[in-house]
Amino acid sequence: MESRDTAALMREPTPEGRFGRFGGRFLPEALVPACQELEAAFRAAWADPAFHDEYLGILAANGRPTPVSECRRLSERLGVRVLLKREDLTHTGSHKINNVIGQALLTRRMGKTRVVAETGAGQHGVAAATAAAMFGFECVIYMGEVDVERQALNVFRMKLLGAEVVPVGSGSRTLKDAINEAFRDWVSSVETTHYLLGSVTGPHPYPWMIRELQRVIGDEARGQCRAILGGADPDYVVACVGGGSNAAGTFAGFVDTGARLVGVEPAGGAAVGRGIPGVVHGSLSQLLQDEHGQIIEAHSVSAGLDYPGVGPEHAHLADVGRAVYVPAADEEVLAALRLLATTEGIIPALEPAHAVAWVIRAAGTDALPTGSTVLITMSGRGDKDAEHVMGMLDAG
């Protein structure tokens, strides 16, 4: 790897919201003032110790800090020492809670009373609906019809939490179309409504703001790993990447260490691995698209990773070589889910099962030599996928 100044990575983007050549704010004029307002609100809040106190206080009441657990049986089997950062143990069962609490506080600060959100797997939708209930906001969740079908339990949970769930029947009827619809709502309702985006995607300041709201994962894990590893950092830090929020939050804690950063994308939606620079949903990033610039549908067993784009900062980390992005195929993801369940008693969500799948595949090869120490972010628990996985394992 070329030498580089890692201290400059994963800091604030340029005033235009650029991470290297990626990022920016590509939005209709009607939404520019709202993004400027959000940026100003976030800047002020993030510089305000009272905001951090309140944010971390609420997270503490909702399961933080999450533990780092040692996977003894899996480690023995793979010949690498595996540690898991347990975001699955938070309230609502995934890392998404970190982001929604932060954005709910900002929504209140901006004097808005309604939030809209998109969801793929339903994890962000459930987290957003939870935060809306906690803060008393009206909440509308857009979800592709395909995802409504494969994540019925989460749809029910969102409704139970008081949110309205709107199935989206346009385009590929998955996450990207849910985001389109959330933007369409927002442009019509921006004066009262905050768009509570779920990943490190979208126009500036979202990729930066959401990485900062998720960096609690990496900041905690860094200290916890050092306590476990006698002051050392893990050799590898691995996280799944759809839009890439849990990976961004994890990597932020390790970007200035010697750890190798590995993002695992679904083979059918590998935007960093197979994408071409382009603009969708407000930012310039790596994107699955055809020769004419039409967005290609991603295909993954995991609704949460079924996205043709990726956060612009990941595209930049790949550009400068600080992180590598590798694919995991659906079959090995299901096998990884089973192996983690039977060796460790942990049923992961399909999304972090991608990260586990890569570790299983790479362990003992040059990509992940025997004897290495590897931290995997367990971004969410598998309850939501149980029915879906049951169907696939039966069919298989």
Partner 1 sequence: MSVPEPGFLERHLRERRAAGAKLLVPYVTGGLGPRWTEVLEAMAAAGADAIEVGIPFSDPVMDGPTIQEASQRALELGATPTAILDAVDAVDAGVPLVAMTYYNIVYRGGHRRFAHALSGNGVSGAIVPDIPLEELDPWARAAESEGVETVLLAAPVTPDDRLALICERSHGFVYGVSAMGITGERQSLAASAGVMAKRLKAHTDKPVLLGFGISTPAHAVEACAEADGVVVASALMRRLLDGASPDQIGSAVAGFRQALDAG
On whether the CB atoms of residues 257 and 233 are closer than 8 A, the answer is: yes
Residue 145, Cβ neighbours under 10 Å: how many? 15
CB of 39 to partner 1, least distance (A): 12
Select which of 35, 52, 71, 194 is catalytic: 71
CB of 29 to partner 1, least distance (A): 5
Residue 159, Cβ neighbours under 10 Å: how many? 13
Tokens 């970190």 correspond to: 98
Tally DSSP H helices, then E strands, for the chain. Answer: 15, 14
CB of 14 to partner 1, least distance (A): 11
Which of 209, 353 has the CB closer to partner 1?
Answer: 209
Within the chain, where are the H helices?
Answer: 32-46, 49-60, 72-78, 96-109, 123-135, 145-150, 152-160, 175-189, 206-228, 245-252, 271-274, 312-319, 330-344, 350-362, 386-395
CB of 331 to partner 1, least distance (A): 29
| Residues forming the site for partner 1 (CB under 8 A) | 16, 24-30, 32-34, 170-171, 176-177, 180, 183-184, 187-191, 276-282, 284, 287, 289, 291-295
CB of 127 to partner 1, least distance (A): 23
Tokens 């008693």 correspond to: 345
- CB-count exposure of residue 292 (10 Å: 0-12, 13-18, 19+): exposed
Q: Is 139 a catalytic residue?
A: no
DSSP annotation of 300: -
Q: Is 95 a catalytic residue?
A: yes
Residue 86 and residue 109: Cα distance in Å, rounded?
Answer: 30
Residue 67 makes CB contacts below 8 A (sequence gap 6+) with 86, 89, 224
Structure tokens at 39: 């940026």
Which of 14, 370 has the CB closer to partner 1?
Answer: 14
Of 158, 109, 98, 96, which Cα lies nearest the Cα of 135? 109
CB of 180 to partner 1, least distance (A): 5
Which of 63, 277 has the CB closer to partner 1?
Answer: 277
Select which of 95, 194, 316, 354 is catalytic: 95
CB of 195 to partner 1, least distance (A): 12
In the chain, how long is the greatest CA-to-CA distance? 56
CA atoms within 13 A on the CB side of 296: 18
Residue 108 and residue 127: Cα distance in Å, rounded?
Answer: 17
Point out the residues that are catalytic. Answer: 71, 95
